[in-house]
Amino acid sequence: MVVGEFTTEVDVLVIGAGPGGYVAAIRAAQLGKTVTIVDKDEVGGVCLNRGCIPSKALISASHRYEEIEASGEMGITAGEAKIDFPKTQEWKESVVKKLTGGVQSLLKGNKVEILSGEALFVEPDQVRVISGYDVNRYKFNHCIIATGSRPIELPAFPFGNRILSSTEALNLKEIPKRLIVIGGGYIGVELGQTYAKFGSQVTIIEGAGQILPGFEKSTAQLVVRNLKKNNVEIFTKAMAQKAEQTEQEVTVTFQVGEETKTVTGDYLLVTVGRKPNTEELGLEGIGLAKDQRGYIQIDNQCRTNIPNVYAIGDIVPGPALAHKASYEGKVAAEVIAGQNSAIDYKAIPAVVFSDPEIASVGLSEAEAKEKGIEVVTGRFSYGANGRALGANKTEGVVKIIAEKDSGIILGGQIAGYEASNLIAEVALAIEMGATLEDISLTIHAHPTLAEMVMEAAEAAAGHGIHSLNK
């Protein structure tokens, strides 16, 4: 034992204070548990400090900047739009500060003890928390691991100098004149399009046959169209090979088919996925099971192979989504409190805050057919919706997939303005086992974007009013 080290007994110990960990801590405290949470970085985790929130703040700023420049169609002119990017970054940080401060207040208000330090398992029911020169042991009855993930670093493109991860890209002090992005997934597209709207010349290099490979091609194509309007150059089926840096720029060599190409930029942003933070917790020493990629194996109640240790969020299999982590955190806390909760992933939405936004939930049409389900689909265009027309946001479509015989909603995809909000109704329908008729008979306010969900359901049922039926 380290000299000066003493052991404190706690009921529930949560390791990681991101959207999975802090939600788990609060829920456990609500259910009568005494909770301690520990994190080596800031409360709020990557999402609030270096991911979801700061990126969406910059995305909103880029939309505002573009809209000011393009309002002439509505008869509005305001002179040349200008951007003070350091001030934009200050505003972004103020948003982050408000939310992280709110999380701290919620934890304290629920009487959750907050510790700053790095946790290391020394026994199946004990961790050592290291904070500077201070080292203390904590013996727990239950533990929830929620240590999140970090950007994958490619050997040929190590982070540093002109090569950035998403963290550094969110904190640039100036708008780059030229930005290269390796990886056309949601992070690469969101950040690449944001800087393109601010005026950067952006090049995206993606290995798959399309950007946003997890979405239907027709949906991704709407984003491609707008990226090209922002002068973004896109290379698909392309493999990045090497990067050469100087003090002022970076040049990337990549292969497209048989042709070798190069592109030079002020910065290179590498966004090829994330990896779980499970290496430095001492998990091997206590025999906690991980797979070959480092993900912790759990059952349907978030329990690991050690019965009193749970794992949630990016460190367990499944999509790296903040709302998935929060959901799992609630389940783990409720199981610890003796409730019969279990995870069910059939209605987890996925959203890309691109332009236009795209969102999906449940099964796609192709996935449903692969499962042998006979389906009906309904579509409704933004261009036929009064609210979208009035907002000058006519690009996009709402699509609903339902089982043919029963009409039960199986999934939905939305591409267009406010897709991130509209998808919630489809998610609720799937969770409730609702049918096309349930949505069709629900009166939706007019004129609203939400009417398109009703219209798509009516179209799938064969009695669309504002669209021609097949």
Catalytic residues: 446
- Looking at 1-84, list the stretches that DSSP marks H as alpha helix, in order from N- to C-terminal side: 21-30, 45-50, 52-69
Helix segments in 38-129, DSSP class H: 45-50, 52-69, 85-109
The CA distance from 72 to 388, in Å, is 18
Q: 122 exposed, middle or buried (CB, 10 Å; 0-12, 13-18, 19+)?
A: middle
- C-beta separation of 66 from 143 below 8 A: no
Scan for tokens 């991704």, then name that residue: 220
Contact 18, 313 (CB under 8 A): yes
Based on the number of CB atoms within 10 Å of its own CB, is 357 exposed (0-12), middle (13-18) or buried (19 or more)?
buried
φ and ψ at 182, to 5 degrees? -100, 115
**What burial letters (b/e) apply to 163-192, b meaning 16+ CB within 10 Å?**
bbbbebbbebeebbebbbbbbbbbbbbbbb
> Contact 450/418 with Cβ under 8 angstroms?
no
The SS3 of residue 133 is coil
Q: How far apart are CA 225 and CA 146, in angstroms?
A: 38
3-class DSSP state of 406: coil
Q: What DSSP assignment string belongs to 141-155?
A: EEEEE---EEE--BT
Edge-first strand listing for the sheet containing 409-416: 350-352, 358-362, 409-416, 396-403, 375-381
- DSSP for 155-166 reads TTB-SBTTEE-H
Ranges assigned E (strand) in 257-372: 259-265, 267-270, 274-276, 309-311, 350-352, 358-362
How far, in Å, CA of 5 to CA of 13, rounded? Answer: 18
Angle of helix 217-229 versus helix 186-197 axis, rounded to 10: 20
- DSSP letters of 320-333? --HHHHHHHHHHHH
Question: What share of residues in the chain are helix, strand, coil (percent, to 5)?
Answer: 35, 30, 40
